[in-house]
Amino acid sequence: MPSKEARKLVLQYKELVRKIFGHTAVNHTVDHERLADTWLQNYTSEYILKRMESTLKWRLKNNKDSIKSIVYFKNVFTKEPANKKSSPKKELDQLLNKFTSTHRVKF
């Protein structure tokens, strides 16, 4: 069962969307509250809300659609494992794969 703080965070997010974009976000579920609970293990609710608010305001300023669900922020607040170091060879391979997938070489 998610914490009361996670539920409050999700409800505050819905209020932010309503305040900034003038409509309500998609109804939240218990899964959204569980996701917010994982974020609260690493960040404060104030930090999370400020980050969400700045993203929403940026989207409004740049004529983008509003974010419909709190799941959009999943990758923002989920900590990455520290062992995700990349080697120069791996970076070069990724760059070459990206280039070859977008540019056809004619012989």
Q: Is 107 among the domain residues?
A: no
Q: Which residues of 63-93 are buried (b: 16+ CB within 10 A; e: fewer)?
A: eeebbebbeebeeebeeeeeeeeeeeeeeee
If you average pLDDT over every residue of the chain, what do you get?
85
Nearest-Å Rg of the Cα atoms of the chain is 19
Determine the pLDDT at residue 75: 86
Number of domains in the chain: 1
Which pLDDT band, with edges at 50, 70 and 90, does 88 fall under?
Answer: confident
Residues of the domain holding 53: 4-102
pLDDT single digits (tens) 22-73: 887 677 788 999 999 999 998 999 999 999 999 999 999 999 888 888 888 9
Q: Is 54 among the domain residues?
A: yes
Q: Is 16 among the domain residues?
A: yes
Q: Is 28 among the domain residues?
A: yes
pTM of the predicted model as reported, rounded to 2 decimal places: 0.69
